[in-house]
Structure 1
Amino acid sequence: MEKISLNQPAEQKVLKGINLIEKGDLPDNNLDNTWIELQGSRGQFLAKGYLSAQNKGAGWVITRRQEELDLAFFVTLFQMAWNKRQAYHAYRIFNQDGDGFGGLTIDFYDGYSVFSWYNEFIYSQRANIIEAFQKALPQIKGGYEKIRFKGLDYESRHLFGQEAPETFTVLENGVCYQVFLNDGLMTGIFLDQHEVRGSLVDGLAAGQSVLNLFSYTAAFSVAAAMGGAAETTSVDLAKRSRELSQAHFEANHLELDHHRFVVMDVFDYFKYAKRHDLSYDVIILDPPSFARNKKKTFSVAKDYHNLIAQSLEILNPKGILIASTNAANLTISKFKEQIEKGFGSQAHNYVQTYRLPADFQINKKDESSNYLKVFTIGI
């Protein structure tokens, strides 16, 4: 195991409990995709971890103890993570450094597991990790993997055990969602939004008209419909979104008469809605952190205020906005600044705030670990 001495600022980060290793923390070296031992400015042991480039940095601290990172370590890691979780049909079993190992997430879908590898090194360790996982949780029927770094010629495949049906339903808050485990990087539902969907199921939009923008498979729309929404409109640029969205509604035996699925750029839809005098009681905004199409680019950090401002033009009096982002590089205060810029002089009040749900364990020493930020806002 290679030993690396950290400079004093990086040493302080490790001592504070931050697990992400950034390029600026390291002295000049050519190491990558390897286990490392981190030493302090006096040569003392600080931690063990690994180096591997991913979008969040250069590597991860794994343990601050002098212990072996072997099969038994992973077995214990997975058993501890499983014991913390609540019994949704679909939830996160293991969440990166929140559960003690950055670069890896594992999700559970009604008996099946989905591993996401975020860098080359963690991918190179997958045989050991999978063996430990199966020892720790033999009740899991089968496993799939998602490749979330560049360089391989596939994104998704079956890993072990039984193969899941091509599509099947999972239950959350009394609502059925159709999922698929081996079709690209997505699965049909974003698990970190349990609680926000729960608020819609509980009647936040009862009797109201709902506009769901960047809707993906319209999971928010289904939750709103099951909670008594009078009508929903789901807008997404992806052509496949219509088919996937309808599948959720059909899984819950909902008639489609009052539920529309629109394949269109969101900013074009704002213009369409204004031309046709359309307005809504509840508008849901959950865009990707960054997106580009032929006409424009969109960044949550710079452009979210435009979404707020244009939504207000088609939001009914006493309406509700649900403003959401999963951008880890955007603090909750900076996100709120974007929201306030969008509202301008329009009176409003923050009704509810959501962060990651309990199954998405976080590193409480590192705010960026708690990446989800959702505000329910009334006018």
Structure 2
Amino acid sequence: MKKELTIKVKSKFVNKYKSGYPLIMKDALINQNGLDEEGTIIKLVDEKNRFIAKGYYGRQNKGYGWILSQKESAQFDQRFFESKLKMAIQRREAYYSSSDTTAFRVFNGEGDGIGGITIENFDGYYLINWYSKGIYQFREEIIQSLTNLVDYKGIYQKKRFDTKGKYIEEDDFVTGERGQFPILVKENGVQFAIYLNESAMVGVFLDQREVRKTIRDKYAKGKKVLNTFSYTGAFSVFAALGGATKTTSVDLANRSLNKTIEQFSINEIDYEAQDIIVEDVFNYFKYAVRKQLSFDMVILDPPSFARSKKYVFSAEKDYKNLLKEAIAITEDHGIIVASTNCSTFGMGKFKGFIDTAFKESGKKYKLMEEFSLPDDFRTIKEFPEGDYLKVVFIKKLP
């Protein structure tokens, strides 16, 4: 049996939790006595000891844990987790029956009712991401639930928690058969090489699926495309398959070169006809201006926070200036794909950055279309922070 604690919530937060907000915030708690063991069951009550909700204690960058039920009698046992997973799997039925897309998110944390965990399916190989020691205490119940519900080839896990915020790489394989890596998966008919045994990042970010498809199907034909913060070159592959005349992929990480070559190669694209550059993106922008290079499409998908030898980038503070660098090397009538996964601001503020960047650059623009998370990345209206992805296609006008 897990330890259970009753914790009082400050009055100003009571209605927020009653209305379904799932994150247990440090600031909302009156007392934190006894909160020493992650995985402890927390019963939240108001200042008059009236029940509000029930969850678990698990520290991650977002808070002190997650609410799992508004029923006082709820038991967080195997049956509880299996029912949540079963509902999530049923919601992804269309993905399971697709032969065109074989990689998708099966369970999306608080969006599917259990904050602190995500599960992804890579053509029958499942990957569980644990984001706190707290949720990891329920691993036996969750892994058993998953094996009861799906036909799997193998199950892997990533422990994304550590006191210093670093990824703990150990015991990635859980059960089933070990994968022969790379596993080749499909996304809208395009192949990706996936490694579940290397690090926290497996080779592709599944949340950009619709954006990549849109680039391929509507915008890439005949275009010179610059893909910045390119990681394994997924946007570049889709652009090339959509008829781009040339793609240039720029990323600071040394691994990006071989990973991008691999993604081009498995899709039978001549990687030598593309440019793959290992360099700080901020330096590359300066180089492009100096050499008077310009592009018909610039893709900006930086991490929320990044540090290199010369630069520290924070999306909230620096995205506007990053956009200005992109505007300077985008052709008139060209497209900028501006993307951020920063959860601390919404689409309204993001569009404000876009507007300011163009005004300060003395240029006009037109918003073409926008994207947020695809439907397998399920979110709930009570937790807007969970809907973190913001992508806008912007046309630079003459």
Normalised TM-score (structure 2) = 0.92
Q: Match for 1:215 among 227, 230, 235? A: 230
Residues 81-103 of structure 1: CA distance to partner in whole angstroms, max 9, x if unpaired? 00101323000000010000000
8 Å Cα contact 1:11-1:41 kept in structure 2: no
* Counterpart position of 1:371: 388
Amino acid at match of 1:250: S
Matched, 1:135 2:142: no
Secondary structure of the equivalent of 1:319?
strand
Matched, 1:306 2:321: yes
The alpha-carbon distance between structure 1 residues 266 and 171, as it changes in their structure 2 partners (threshold 3 A), is: same
Contiguous gaps of at least 5 residues in structure 1: none
Matched, 1:356 2:368: no
8 Å Cα contact 1:230-1:258 kept in structure 2: no
Matched, 1:154 2:169: yes
Cα separation, 1, equivalents of 2:308 and 2:31 = 38
Q: Match for 2:124 among 100, 111, 116? A: 111
The alpha-carbon distance between structure 1 residues 282 and 149, as it changes in their structure 2 partners (threshold 3 A), is: same
Q: Match for 1:185 among 197, 200, 209? A: 200
Greater shift in the superposed pair: 103-112 or 194-203: 194-203
Cα separation, 1, equivalents of 2:344 and 2:170 = 24
8 Å Cα contact 2:161-2:168 kept in structure 1: no
Q: Match for 2:62 among 56, 59, 66? A: 56
Secondary structure of the equivalent of 2:41?
strand
Residues 153-176 of structure 1: CA distance to partner in whole angstroms, max 9, x if unpaired? 525611111111120211111111
Q: Match for 2:219 among 174, 184, 204? A: 204
8 Å Cα contact 2:55-2:67 kept in structure 1: yes
Residues 260-312 of structure 1: CA distance to partner in whole angstroms, max 9, x if unpaired? 10000011001111222211000000000001111121000000011110111
Cα separation, 2, equivalents of 1:155 and 1:271 = 40
* Counterpart position of 2:9: 6
Cα separation, 1, equivalents of 2:326 and 2:138 = 46
What is the aligned-residue identity percentage? 42
* Counterpart position of 1:273: 288
Contiguous gaps of at least 5 residues in structure 2: 96-100
Cα separation, 1, equivalents of 2:232 and 2:17 = 40
Which stretches of structure 1, 4 residues or more, deviate above 6 A after TM superposition?
none
Secondary structure of the equivalent of 2:271?
coil
Cα separation, 2, equivalents of 1:29 and 1:277 = 58
8 Å Cα contact 1:49-1:60 kept in structure 2: yes
8 Å Cα contact 2:65-2:134 kept in structure 1: no
Q: Match for 1:78 among 47, 62, 85? A: 85
* Counterpart position of 2:98: none
Amino acid at match of 1:57: G
Cα separation, 2, equivalents of 1:42 and 1:27 = 12
Shift of 1:28: 2.6
Matched, 1:124 2:146: no
Residues 306-343 of structure 1: CA distance to partner in whole angstroms, max 9, x if unpaired? 11101111101100000001111122222222222221
Secondary structure of the equivalent of 2:219?
coil
Cα separation, 1, equivalents of 2:109 and 2:246 = 38
Cα separation, 1, equivalents of 2:305 and 2:170 = 20
Shift of 1:258: 3.0
Q: CA RMSD in A?
A: 1.3
Pairs aligned (count): 378
The alpha-carbon distance between structure 1 residues 194 and 67, as it changes in their structure 2 partners (threshold 3 A), is: same
Normalised TM-score (structure 1) = 0.97
Cα separation, 1, equivalents of 2:139 and 2:350 = 36
Cα separation, 1, equivalents of 2:204 and 2:168 = 24
* Counterpart position of 2:41: 35
Secondary structure of the equivalent of 1:348?
strand
Secondary structure of the equivalent of 2:269?
coil
